[in-house]
Amino acid sequence: MLQVTDSLTRGRRRLQPPADRSLTLYCCGPTVYRYAHIGNLRTFLLADLVRRALRLRGVDVTAVQNITDVGHLTDDTVDQGTDKMLVSAGLEGRSAGEIAAYYTAAYLADARRLNLLPFDAYPRATDHVEAMVDLVAHLVERGFAYDAPGAVYFDVRSFPGYGRLSGNRLDALQPGHRHEPNPEKRFHGDFALWRKSGEQRQQVWDSPWGRGFPGWHIECSAMGMAYLGEHIDVHLGGVDLQFPHHECEIAQSEAAVGHPVVDVWVHGEHLLAEGRKMSKSSGNFYDLRTIAERGIDPLAFRLVCLQARYHTQFNFRWEALVGAERALERLRARVAELAAAPDGASGPSATERTLDDRFTAAVEDDLDTPTARAVVHAVAGGEGEAAAVPAARRAALLRRWDAVLGLDLDRTVSSGPGVLPAGAAELIERRQRARAASDWPAADALRGDLAALGVDVADTPAGPTWTVRVQARLPKGVVGHKPPGV
């Protein structure tokens, strides 16, 4: 069973499927004021990997990811600033609702292109303001929150566990670190649950404290419990959300219900781009569009993320992404080639089971994806003990593992009579991409290159199919058979 590192206890925890219900998982979703950047996507890939690893064991998971479309301020660390949605709306000359709809659709498209399993629900914050108001009212009633002229604040000194997740002790939270202290707060570490709107006219709702809008942190407490109940087995997010977002979520939820709500907290480490923190001003702010513009398969990003463990910083480099794309093409070609070989064995051998166990053990060992990748590599290449496993059985293993890897190892190079000569599968893949980009001259040139290898390609609605001409000289060691009728 999958073990992960729990940020709260800083130790390993086994994700046990509960006996009487499905395992519940919540992952903080995107703030839909711009495209999700590759750092966000790395976190969402982590959630996907956790779900896929659990599914491998047949664990039933109910997974929810919120869409933040209100309340996330430009400077939430110090609880100040302007709502990010409104900043974008102003810049793009559209309403906050239009901005949210556009970037939510863009995010869901990115998720599909990265093969992220769809969540069971994607609750939007603006659809759940009533639940947030109820939760704030409950916290005020129980004495954990107070009404001030500008906002309703959570009184952090009333909650003894505050700071446990992030290690930020109350006495270490310095007032006026970056901004003037706010005189209406009882304590400088108090944070807003409900903000009063003042002059703001967009994104405001009625509440017992006047018109306003919810704080960002209360969204996840309210939506998490609304969808998954008062016991959430695993909660994921980027490490930058540990404080203040998740620290505040713990305080709100536990103060409201009187017991711990989240069992295990999992955080994905930062992603650097070309060795530096991503930022618009440094010109290293990348999203999936940047990758697609360079003609690179989005799943190469998935593969590149598997090269690092989730709790280590990952340095994204273009060179590595291009290398990963080539590796992915080779892997797909290899699966097609192995699958085409006759299946001589009647069932899995002991060696096959050992390899399968090794892959699963790596994945379940706190998602040790680099080790899992090494097993994939050995099986694809028939190295070591894998040499004893028949080709078709190796293809079956790789396909089974793809349920965790999500790399579409069966894609494109689908079927065709004859076994492709070395390099042909990559050319077919490249030609497919050229066609997808309507780059007909490149597609034609690649068709020519394939013909030179003795491979004729035909396009069908189901994808390309090929014929290996009988006179084609297959490189030594490649098992081929004649097309039918020859």
Residues in touch with Zn ion (CB under 5 A): 28, 220
Residue closer to Zn ion (CB basis): 28 or 67 = 28
Find all residues with CB under 8 Å of 393, minimum gap 6, and list them.
Answer: 343, 345, 348, 349, 352
Report phi then psi at 112, rounded to 5. -65, -40
Shortest distance (Å) from residue 5 CB to Zn ion: 19
Q: Among residues 28 and 192, whose Cβ is nearest to Zn ion? A: 28
* Residues 79, 184: Cα–Cα separation, whole Å: 13
| Of 220 and 305, CB closest to Zn ion | 220
Question: Residues 265, 8: contact at Cβ < 8 Å?
Answer: yes
Q: Which is nearer to Zn ion, 220 or 367 (CB)?
A: 220
Q: Which residues contact 262 (CB under 8 A, 6 or more apart)?
A: 26, 224, 232, 234, 235, 249, 250, 253
Strand 11-14 versus strand 3-6 pairing type: antiparallel
* Short-list 292, 323, 215, CA closest to 35: 292
How many whole angstroms separate alpha carbon 361 and alpha carbon 2? 9
Query: Which CB atom, from 28 or from 106, has the smaller least distance to Zn ion?
Result: 28
Closest distance of CB 216 from Zn ion, Å: 7
CB 124 → Zn ion: shortest distance, Å? Answer: 13
Nearer to Zn ion, 48 or 364 (CB): 48
Complex with Zn ion: residue 132 or 303, whichever CB lies closer: 132
Comparing C-alpha atoms, which of 429, 421, 430, 403 is closest to residue 337? 421
DSSP codes joined into one string, 170-197: GGGS-TTSSS---TTSSSTT-EEEEEE-
Quote the least distance from Cβ 245 to Zn ion, whole Å: 6
Show the beta-strand stretches assigned E in 217-357. 232-238, 262-268, 271-273, 276-277, 314-316
Tokens encoding 379: 């099986």
Burial of 30 (0-12, 13-18, 19+ CB in 10 A): buried
Exposure class string for 462-485: b at 16+ Cβ within 10 A, else e? eebbbebeeebebeeeeebeeeee
CA separation for the pair 238, 28 (Å, rounded): 8
Give the other-Cβ count within 10 Å of 109's Cβ: 12
- Which CB, 2 or 241, lies closer to Zn ion? 241
Contact 247, 77 (CB under 8 A): no
Is the CB of 220 or the CB of 232 nearer to Zn ion? Answer: 220
Nearer to Zn ion, 72 or 433 (CB): 72
335 and 150 in contact (C-beta within 8 Å)?
Answer: no
Phi, psi for residue 50 in degrees, rounded to 5: -60, -45
